[in-house]
Amino acid sequence: MSDFISLTPELTHKTVLLNEAIEALQIKPDGIYIDCTFGRGGHSRLILQKLNVHGCLIALDKDPAAVAAGQAITDKRFTLIHSEFSRLTEVLNVLGVNEVDGVLLDLGVSSPQLDEMQRGFSFRFDAPLDMRMNNSSGETAANWLANVNESLLKEVIRNYGEERFASQIASAIIAARQNAPIVTTRQLSEIIAQTVRTREPGKNPATRTFQAIRIYLNQELEEIARVLPQCVDCLKPGGRIVIISFHSLEDRMVKHFLRDMAQGDQLPRNLPIRAAEIRQGNLRLIGKAIRATSQEILANPRARSAVMRVAERMGRGMYD
């Protein structure tokens, strides 16, 4: 068998902004790259296609199913690690990698996770209420809902789902569990549907609550906050970070982080200090946010909310 992977397209997952993301990375044939969110390998496969025999790709994923799917790639230039991406620095230290030429983050839940009913991410199926991205550990949504108090439940639904009916939904869930445990996606979605009478056209009433519980249980925003500084730290000068977000909470974090890292020291005017002594930003923002084209959205409706942001590592200065 060849050391190089087969580039057969994935049949179960349509990678969003595939070509745009890889183009933004500006792949060097002999570079070292990190795909922090392997998923089903759409981005990884195209990165590998652009590397020569001296190039290297390191991929991470916390989902055991994604890691199992990645075993089909037998390319010697490719290393896949079962890990949360918030452990990026630890992973690179174990591999003996100090600097890389590019980092890719494709945030959120993947299509296979949504489409595999037993994972319990979607209200489209009647399935066990799980929602764990790493279903080999941690608490299921069913267990959490059985024990959470109403105050925290309302806070989670409001803050992570941006749900204006958070108070009513939380009260309804607490009342319903007094009669019977909430253990399936259908049970939960029906409770929400009976509580939320109005919603945007085409949007299921349970959408925001399911999103909120998933984000909270998987600590998705906390994971993003931990990994972003690590991504910058491991980049070589001129290396790029490419981040694809799928909802406003993610994108807001990414946007603010990249902006702050690009600004450097913000000092009062007329301060008696030389320009050379002012710490410049560690990143340079590349272009504006990129969204999927109408053609991509038509082929893959899940691409409609995707936002891609790109930044480049500046040269290391006196404060690095």
Q: Which residue ranges are tagged as binding site? A: 41-43, 61, 85, 106, 113
**Binding site for S-adenosyl-L-methionine: what residues are annotated?**
41-43, 61, 85, 106, 113
Q: Report the distance separating Cα 272 and Cα 292, nearest Å.
A: 47
Q: Report the distance separating Cα 272 and Cα 243, nearest Å.
A: 38
Nearest CA to 218 out of 182, 196, 243, 250 is that of: 250
Q: What are phi and psi of 197, to 5 degrees?
A: -90, -20
* Whole-number CA gyration radius for the chain: 21
Q: Report the distance separating Cα 98 and Cα 112, nearest Å.
A: 33
Contact call for residues 301 and 274 (beta carbons, < 8 A) = no
- Residue 265, classed as helix, strand or coil, is coil
Q: Report the distance separating Cα 181 and Cα 129, nearest Å.
A: 11
Q: Report the distance separating Cα 173 and Cα 262, nearest Å.
A: 44
Q: Report the distance separating Cα 180 and Cα 193, nearest Å.
A: 17
Q: Report the distance separating Cα 127 and Cα 120, nearest Å.
A: 6
